[in-house]
Amino acid sequence: MNAKYDQDLTVTNESINLTGMVTGNIHVGEDGYLQLHGMILGDITISDRGIVKLHGMVDGSVNNLGGVLEVYGMVEGKVLHQGGRTTYYKGAVVDGKAIPTDRIVGAEIMDR
């Protein structure tokens, strides 16, 4: 998807490769898969069995409620890890902080 969406987006039971822009929020639900190379001006919420590979930029926050989140890109706000698996990769930036190591699993990096 290479377009601009001026609304919220829900990804459930489908796979989306997003290279455009979403000005609203994104919810990735059950069996939803989002590969983000574009920009989100709102927040992302990931529910159980949702998967997000974040290579682009999120201007808001990301809340992982039980899915899989891989952060390679930039999150301007917080990453809230409330379940599932969250992985940060070297070179990613979260809340203004660069991720200094090759791979960190869990939310421990946010407390340092």
* Signed CA dihedral, 65, 67, 70, 74: sign only: negative
Q: What is the pLDDT along the chain (112 residues), one digit of tens a residue?
A: 678 889 999 999 999 999 999 999 999 999 999 999 999 999 999 999 999 999 999 999 999 999 999 999 999 999 998 988 999 898 999 999 998 875 555 644 443 3
* Domain segments of the chain as ranges: 4-107
Q: Would the pTM of this model clear 0.75, i.e. be above it?
A: yes
